[in-house]
């Protein structure tokens, strides 16, 4: 199967069989994903592998107790990492200047591109995974749990294992909704109707709106799933963690 | 060829043949890459496609005049985008709360994961590409050139075309240098020696050190390629652009 065919049938997998995910397989995927391009070929990322029951239990509440964290054989936390590069500089009479926001952005880019090649590779092997966006919600507690030093920020968590379910494919917006030619062209109300019609018409989405006594699907997102109050509180938490890790000294 | 084999021989391509990259091919890759997981399945990204000579000329200095920008048949700028989602909310009596830093982080994650699936897919088709990290160096000018509205931030630029070169493979750090079991284990001086030895021994790197009259390879990075002064100035520029685009109202 080509990657293109693999993408067409791609779904997040949240239930895993008991079959082991070997270190050998994992390392071969890390090696292949490590071929992804990075800033100055510095590979500004690191991965913490969680297999122990104890560490999974400690991570679980930091991901709002989503069951995949304790049920998956392997949990991976991918971090933006300038720490190792700075350690190298310090061993080599070089004065690093990476305690700043741009260096965080550069390392975050490296970490996320690496993460996604890893996801594509893992799925090619038949592994199932779920990307946990919760990593950036309470980063300070993840930093403490995984003992991340200065200049390391957790960004992505993957729960990983051999699939024990095959969920339905989820919908996507049409390509025309996110691609712009030459310059960005803003959306008219009729563009929005056209691009979001299919999503709004899905029975499961209509059901969400109904059981939550809302008027529109968009209100499910703004009033329940991703609220202004939560986002503002978590923005503060994330910025505080960035300061603590040394990426925001100048603000 | 599997993606794993493709990764093993992966290199950035900076020279392209005259052969056209059709809109049909591009759109089929956008559609497949659009299967990548995103926050709440909101697909918080957009892509601006640059094909016109005029727009390439305007983008070129914003990427430090790297020749790929004007020489590639297609240049793509991938953006973190909450604008479209907010437009949807506003058309649907929903009050969006996404003018904050966490929402930028969420959209940046979506944009970068999408970007890397796109890269893997494009390379599977035989296309060559170069990821331009310069996108985050002068974002305000890219925002103006591509007319990006509020809540859209450019993050990744790809120059794309059919390869007209096959550069040498670049080196990578050993897997053990970036993978940690259970918790982060800090690096001793002998770890650093072991992990960076091969990179430092490469003839091209030794040559860089020599022609720049430096003592170590790390000094090439700290003193020439990614200096503290540049990073601090560009951090300010990036934060200013985030404020302008409405993602940092609360600071």
DSSP B65-115: T-THHHHSSEEEEEEEE-HHHHHHHHHTT------SHHHHHHHHHHHHHHH
Contact assessment for residue A115 and residue A158, using Cβ atoms and an 8 Å cutoff: yes
Spatial distance between the Cα atoms of B35 and B2, rounded to a whole number of angstroms: 19
Spatial distance between the Cα atoms of A124 and A145, rounded to a whole number of angstroms: 31
Task: Calculate the alpha carbon distances from A232 to A137, B132, B152 in Å.
Answer: 11, 31, 18
Spatial distance between the Cα atoms of B23 and A182, rounded to a whole number of angstroms: 13
Residue whose entry in the numeric block shows the structure tokens 């892509």: B47
- The pLDDT confidence band at residue B251, using thresholds 50, 70 and 90, is very low
Q: Which of B33, B45, B178 sits opposite A7 (nearest CB)?
A: B33
Inform me whether the C-beta atom of residue B12 falls under 8 Å from chain A C-beta atoms: yes
Q: In what order do the strands lie in the sheet with B179-181?
A: A128-132, A152-161, A74-81, A45-50, B179-181
Q: Does B45 contact A156 at a Cβ distance shorter than 8 Å?
A: no
Which pLDDT does position A109 carry in this prediction?
Answer: 98
- Structural tokens at position B150: 């509020």
Contact assessment for residue B100 and residue B247, using Cβ atoms and an 8 Å cutoff: yes
The pLDDT of residue B97 is above 80 = yes
Which pLDDT does position A241 carry in this prediction?
Answer: 98
Contact residues on chain B for A49, CB-CB shorter than 8 A:
179-182
- Structural tokens at position B201: 């021994």
Q: Which A positions 57-76 lie with beta carbon below 8 A of chain B?
A: none
pLDDT tens column, B14-53: 999 999 999 999 999 999 999 999 999 999 999 999 999 9
Which pLDDT does position A251 carry in this prediction?
Answer: 47
CB neighbourhood size of B26 (10 A): 21
Task: Categorise residue A187: left if φ over 0, alpha if ψ from -120 to 50, beta otherwise.
Answer: beta
Spatial distance between the Cα atoms of B128 and B164, rounded to a whole number of angstroms: 9
Asked whether the whole model's pTM tops 0.90, one would answer yes
Residues sharing a CB contact under 8 Å with residue B220, sequence separation 6 or more, in sequence order: B205, B208, B209, B212, B214
Spatial distance between the Cα atoms of A106 and A81, rounded to a whole number of angstroms: 10
Inform me whether the C-beta atom of residue B234 falls under 8 Å from chain A C-beta atoms: yes
Which pLDDT does position A250 carry in this prediction?
Answer: 52
Q: Does A226 contact B91 at a Cβ distance shorter than 8 Å?
A: no
Could you tell me which chain A residue has the CA closest to the CA of B218?
A89
Inform me whether the C-beta atom of residue A175 falls under 8 Å from chain B C-beta atoms: yes
- The pLDDT confidence band at residue B173, using thresholds 50, 70 and 90, is very high
Which pLDDT does position A43 carry in this prediction?
Answer: 98
Could you tell me which chain B residue has the CA closest to the CA of A195?
B88
State how far residue B166 is from chain A, nearest Cα, in angstroms: 16
Spatial distance between the Cα atoms of A226 and A210, rounded to a whole number of angstroms: 18
- Structural tokens at position A103: 């260096």
CA B193 to chain centroid, in Å, comes to 29
Inform me whether the C-beta atom of residue A192 falls under 8 Å from chain B C-beta atoms: yes
Contact residues on chain A for B88, CB-CB shorter than 8 A:
192, 195-196, 218
Those residues of chain A that have pLDDT short of 50 are 251
The answer to whether ipTM exceeds 0.85 is yes
The pLDDT of residue B2 is above 70 = yes
Average pLDDT, chain B: 97
Contact residues on chain A for B159, CB-CB shorter than 8 A:
none
Interface test with B, best of A5, A52, A75, A88 (most B CBs within 10 A): A88
Spatial distance between the Cα atoms of B123 and B85, rounded to a whole number of angstroms: 30
Task: Calculate the alpha carbon distances from B230 to A238, B138, B218, B225, B233 in Å.
Answer: 24, 11, 17, 9, 5
Inform me whether the C-beta atom of residue A212 falls under 8 Å from chain B C-beta atoms: no
Q: Which of A87, A184, A192 sits opposite B147 (nearest CB)?
A: A184
Q: Across residues B236-242, what is the average pLDDT?
A: 97
Inform me whether the C-beta atom of residue A205 falls under 8 Å from chain B C-beta atoms: no
């Amino acid at each position: 199967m080509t990657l293109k065919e693999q993408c067409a049938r791609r779904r997040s997998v949240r239930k895993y069989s008991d079959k082991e995910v070997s270190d050998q397989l994992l390392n071969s995927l890390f090696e292949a994903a490590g071929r992804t391009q990075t800033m100055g070929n510095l590979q500004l990322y690191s991965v913490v592998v969680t297999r122990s029951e104890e560490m999974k239990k400690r991570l679980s509440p930091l991901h709002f107790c989503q069951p995949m964290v304790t049920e998956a054989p392997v949990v991976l936390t991918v971090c933006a990492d300038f720490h190792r590069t700075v350690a190298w500089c310090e061993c080599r009479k070089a004065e690093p200047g990476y305690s700043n926001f741009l260096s965080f952005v550069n390392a975050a880019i490296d970490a996320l591109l690496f993460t996604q090649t890893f996801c594509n590779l893992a799925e090619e092997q038949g592994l199932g995974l779920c990307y946990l966006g919760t990593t950036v919600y309470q980063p300070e507690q993840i930093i403490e749990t995984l003992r991340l030093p200065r200049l390391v920020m957790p960004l992505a968590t993957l729960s990983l294992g051999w699939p024990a379910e095959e969920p339905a494919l989820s919908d996507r917006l049409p390509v025309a909704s996110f691609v712009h030619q030459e310059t960005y062209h803003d959306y008219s109300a009729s563009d929005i109707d056209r691009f979001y019609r299919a999503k709004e018409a899905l029975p499961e989405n209509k059901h969400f709106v109904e059981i939550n006594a809302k008027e529109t699907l968009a209100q499910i997102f703004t009033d329940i799933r991703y609220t202004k109050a939560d986002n503002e509180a978590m923005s503060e938490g994330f910025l505080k963690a960035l300061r603590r890790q040394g990426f925001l000294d100048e603000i």
